[in-house]
Amino acid sequence: MFYSRLLLIITICSFTMLMSCDETDDNIRNVEIYSIKDIGVLSTCEYTISKVIELKDRASWYKFGDRDILMSCKAKIEAGVRLDELKNEDIKVDGKRIKILLPYPEILSFDMDPQSIKTELESVNGLRSTFSQEEKNNILRQGEESIKANMGRTQILKQAKENARVFIENFYKELNFEEVIIEFKKPHEKEIPSS
* Contact status: 105 vs another protein (CB under 8 A): no
What residues have CB less than 8 Å from 110, skipping those under 6 apart?
A: 75, 76, 77, 144, 148, 192, 193, 194, 195
- Segment lying near another protein (by CB under 8 A), choices 21-29, 121-129, 180-188: 121-129
Binding to another protein (CB under 8 A): which residues in 24-43? 34-43
The Cα–Cα gap between 132 and 136 comes to 6
- Tell me the Cα Rg of the chain: 27
* Contact status: 78 vs another protein (CB under 8 A): yes
* Contact status: 97 vs another protein (CB under 8 A): no
- Determine how β-strand 67-82 pairs with β-strand 106-111: antiparallel
Binding to another protein (CB under 8 A): which residues in 166-185? 167, 171, 174-176
Q: Are 77 and 109 in contact (CB under 8 A)?
A: yes
What residues have CB less than 8 Å from 144, skipping those under 6 apart?
A: 75, 110, 112
* Contact status: 130 vs another protein (CB under 8 A): yes
CB of 183 to another protein, least distance (A): 15
- Segment lying near another protein (by CB under 8 A), choices 23-31, 72-80, 178-186: 72-80
CB of 186 to another protein, least distance (A): 21
